[in-house]
Structure 1
Amino acid sequence: MTQLTGKTALVTGGSRGIGAAIARRLAREGADVALTYVSSAERAGAVAAAIEAGGRRALAIAADSADPQAVAAAVERTVAGLGRIDILVNNAGIFPYEPLEAVALETFDRAMAIHVRAAFVAAQAAARHMREGGRIINIGSCLAERTGGPNMTVYAASKAALTGLSKGLAQDLGARGITVNVVHPGPVDTDMNPADADAADAQRQGLPLGHFGSADDVAAMVAHLAGEGGRFVTGAAISVDGGFSA
């Protein structure tokens, strides 16, 4: 028996990159997993199929995290389809990267909607169903604490706000035995930030370990927090960033 046997998780933005790695890792730990996606039903279906091939149940849900009704509905579909929700991972995200003068207000609003409002809506909806021992894990960014360069004001602000949200939720839900934490990935080799991109060398120079991490590195921390090892960790912001924030 693995540590998450009998548990059900919802991972937003779970069709690729860090989200897909988290969904697969939680399933390997014994959880049934629902995941949301926006653009690629094929990718989401492939992740769900891999989970089911490993003997767990999976559910792929089309839901844009910019739409609060879709986010709340995804939680309800998880409960209806898989019977419960024990673990919520708010992972869906975008990466606005523009000079300050060029940023449209719509860009700011969308980043806040996806990174902050969606996490709030999902947590609020999930908390109505969660039992003692529930876990909410928000995926932030090392850029929430140190940007290291220009053009990331909106992204950094939204991820910093997610840290504050996580701490508030930890206070609100602690009496019910539900933990809430935020994990801050650093440079991770994904299709959104490939380790062989033009800007990768500059990122590596800021890493004491000298190399990019993998999506599985982040998934391992999420699995730890979701399992028995996370039972006395709440309100924490944990960096998985190769020392970027050191």
Structure 2
Amino acid sequence: MKIAIRLDDITPDMNWSNFERFKCLLDKYNIKALLGIVPENRDPKLMINLPKRDFWEYIKDLEKDGWTLAMHGYHHEYTTHDGGLLPLNRNSEFAGLPFDKQDRMIRSGKILLEKNGITTDIFMAPSHSYDMNTIKALKKNGFTGITDGFGNGPYMWEDMVFYPISFKKSQTLKSKEDGCVTFVVHTNTMTDRDFEAYEKLLATREIVSYSEMLKLKPVKATETDRFKEKLMATTKFHLRETLRLSSNIKRYIKKSVTKKY
């Protein structure tokens, strides 16, 4: 199984030291990733550094060098608690909103990117959450692909190409099947341990540039495939929430015991 890389939360005010450090790793192995660019960031959690003055020129230079670009939402502001069609999370910028509003948001985001010289037909939903209105609005505004879903390679559904992410990284690394999936990376929050893990992974030559994913011919997905995908996402969400709750309980018990003695 080949692995492509997508980098979320690309903004002028992101964690630039982490981004550059990860980019150096990719450059070492001549890997070009997919960049999810927020057209106009209003998410305080992504505001880490002072905005890079030449951000848009920098992004365009990366594209010329072979990196792939996607539109990552609009403002990256969560407006609903709707998990949408791939309910990995319960926060969304788009899912649950009326079509007209989503249409305006997607159109406005695309216009902002184009004003800065960025053209793309690939969409990346914040928190992986989108619904049928999102898909309709994307198609209306000229988008042809979404970087999301599960599978061993691109698939076609509702006249949109989906470029799948890994359901579980450890399973992907063990898989001997043909195909290509995406590892989702948030450089803003990467730790030294994360960098070390990716250094080892890149050395295995299992990672390919995102352009290799785009070359694969999509297969047609059935409604059964989509049902399984949604079930997988729901299961993963509940498992993650169970682990989080268990961790919180353990911390509370430890804190209570410490105070008692």
With the shorter chain as reference, the TM-score category is 0.3 to 0.5
Rg larger for: 2
Larger RCO (alpha carbons 8 Å, 6+ apart): 2
Q: What is the TM-score with the length of structure 2 in the denominator?
A: 0.35
